[in-house]
Structure 1
Amino acid sequence: MDKTLSFTRRIPIRHEVDVFVAGGGPAGCAAALAAAYGGRKVFLAEGQNCLGGMGTAGMIPVFMTFSDGVNFLAAGIGEKIHKR
């Protein structure tokens, strides 16, 4: 005789979103920003107390320099942040 037990728990919905991004590292931040720029309602969940993943948590100052001293090198999101 096979018996199966299953347990369920009702979890209230706190946020209605189009895109849920798990992790606020470089890829998660880029995905969340891209979705938001595309008009989607985004929820970005990060387990640490900062965005940027291990680069930020490990206090790495720069992944990529944005300038060679004369020219601005980054495009896309980096450029948008720089212009603000």
Structure 2
Amino acid sequence: MPVLQERLGGRPIPRRLPLVLGGVGDALLYLVVYSVAFRFARAALSDPPGWTPAQGMSPGQTWVLALAYAPMLLWPAALTAALVGYRRGRA
């Protein structure tokens, strides 16, 4: 099965360019997402607790907040899997 060559403006895109740019973006995404999660956890678990959006919420509201933001933690891993799949498909 022939591999289709991606093109931008009529010119071929180098095979490594999407991997390099995606890898840099993925590394930054890991840094941002997990630093925010770490800061939130540190503020919530400190004594006395620091300010968090969960302050003053009922336990049910806190669960809704956690469930709404939990997928954020999976996004960098999903991007890593996509980059690995792209690399295997273009090898």
Same fold (TM over 0.5): no
Larger strand share, 1 or 2: 1
Which range, TM-score by smaller chain?
Answer: under 0.3
Q: Larger helix proportion, structure 1 or 2?
A: 2
Q: How does the TM-score come out when normalised to structure 1? A: 0.19
TM-score, L = length of structure 2: 0.18
Considering Cα pairs closer than 8 Å and 6+ residues apart, tell me whether 1 or 2 has the greater RCO. Answer: 2
